[in-house]
Amino acid sequence: MRRKTNNSQSTDNKEEQAVPLQPSSEVFKQFETNFRKSNQLEDANEAYFFRKQAELQEASTKPPEQKVLSQLEWLSWGIWTGYGVKIWRVILLCVIADLFFAILYYIGKPERKYEEGGERDFTFKQRFLEFPRKYVTGTPISWTDNERVIRFANSVRLSSVILFKFGYRDTTISGKLAGIDYKFIIWTEWLLGFVLLGFLTVTLSNTLPILHKLVSAVF
């Protein structure tokens, strides 16, 4: 009887050992599902991020096409936005891109464009920065007389207009930088802006509770 009992126990142990362990990605997926059911958005996003990282590691044991797709997803989306759940990564990326192109425009000296025959002014000003003094007294705000500071501020405004698609389009820049025409630099930033705005929109909708509820209700 003792032998039979020992044999049955060893058989049960072998069966328990034979049960395959769940992949880490599946465990994180279960955490994510539970957190979303309980409306714990921040915890759900963290679980989702770790799930995607686990899937990236697990892809090394999968067919080559799945491995390549996981790596492309990481390079094009995960590393920049944390798969759409790391808002500070996206904000930092936008600021760096804005300042990078602003420096390029600073070197090229952006100009304010006026109609033919009108007064020419080498500054670029957003109207909301001049209100209400500009419209009440007729005197524009002059917060500094340093030409370099003003030119860099104008360059940042120009870069922000192109990258984030807001403001008015009455500033021009011409010439070349290291043999590259500025029009190609502007086209590059303009196209990059759509990518960054997409990153920012998706990440905000995933991380900001009020936007997340609104998007979830619509879709």
Cβ atoms 168, 113 nearer than 8 A: no
Q: What is the DSSP letter of 76?
A: I
Q: What percent of the chain has pLDDT over 70?
A: 68
Find the domain containing 154 and state its range.
Answer: 90-199
The residue assigned the tokens 């309980």 is 38
Sort residue 23 into left (φ over 0), alpha (ψ -120 to 50) or beta: beta
Would 161 be classed as within a structural domain? yes
- As a whole number of angstroms, the distance between CA 73 and CA 212 comes to 22
What digits encode the pLDDT tens for the residues 23-44? Answer: 788 888 888 888 888 888 888 8
pLDDT at 92: 94
Same domain? 104 vs 183: yes
Burial of 91 (0-12, 13-18, 19+ CB in 10 A): middle
**122 band by pLDDT with thresholds 50, 70 and 90:** very low
Would 113 be classed as within a structural domain? yes
Same domain? 110 vs 192: yes
Cβ atoms 84, 202 nearer than 8 A: yes
Would 10 be classed as within a structural domain? no
Same domain? 53 vs 107: no
Q: Where are the alpha helices (DSSP H) in 74-181?
A: 79-81, 87-108, 127-130, 133-137, 147-164
What digits encode the pLDDT tens for the residues 176-206? Answer: 888 888 888 888 998 999 999 899 888 988 8
Same domain? 95 vs 80: no
**Which of the listed residues 42, 67, 84 is the one where a domain comes to its end?**
84
Q: What would the two tokens of residue 22 be?
A: 């769940």
Structural domain count, the chain: 2
Q: Dihedrals φ, ψ of 115, to 5°? A: -65, 155
- Please state the pTM of the whole predicted model: 0.70
Same domain? 139 vs 190: yes
Same domain? 178 vs 119: yes
Q: What average pLDDT does the chain have?
A: 76
pLDDT at 28: 85
Strand partners, 177: 180
Average pLDDT, integer, range 168-183? 77
Same domain? 34 vs 125: no
**90 band by pLDDT with thresholds 50, 70 and 90:** very high
Decide which of 203 and 112 is more confident: 203
Same domain? 132 vs 182: yes
Average pLDDT, integer, range 147-162? 82
Would 139 be classed as within a structural domain? yes
Same domain? 119 vs 194: yes
pLDDT at 199: 92
pLDDT at 31: 86
Same domain? 126 vs 167: yes
- As a whole number of angstroms, the distance between CA 179 and CA 113 comes to 24
**128 band by pLDDT with thresholds 50, 70 and 90:** very low
Same domain? 54 vs 133: no
Burial of 81 (0-12, 13-18, 19+ CB in 10 A): buried
What digits encode the pLDDT tens for the residues 91-110? Answer: 999 999 999 999 998 888 77
pLDDT at 213: 66
Q: What angle do CA 89, 93, 96 make, to 5 degrees?
A: 140
- pLDDT over 70 (residue 212): no
**Which of the listed residues 62, 84, 106 is the one where a domain comes to its end?**
84
Would 13 be classed as within a structural domain? no
What digits encode the pLDDT tens for the residues 129-150? Answer: 444 555 555 555 555 667 788 7
Same domain? 42 vs 109: no
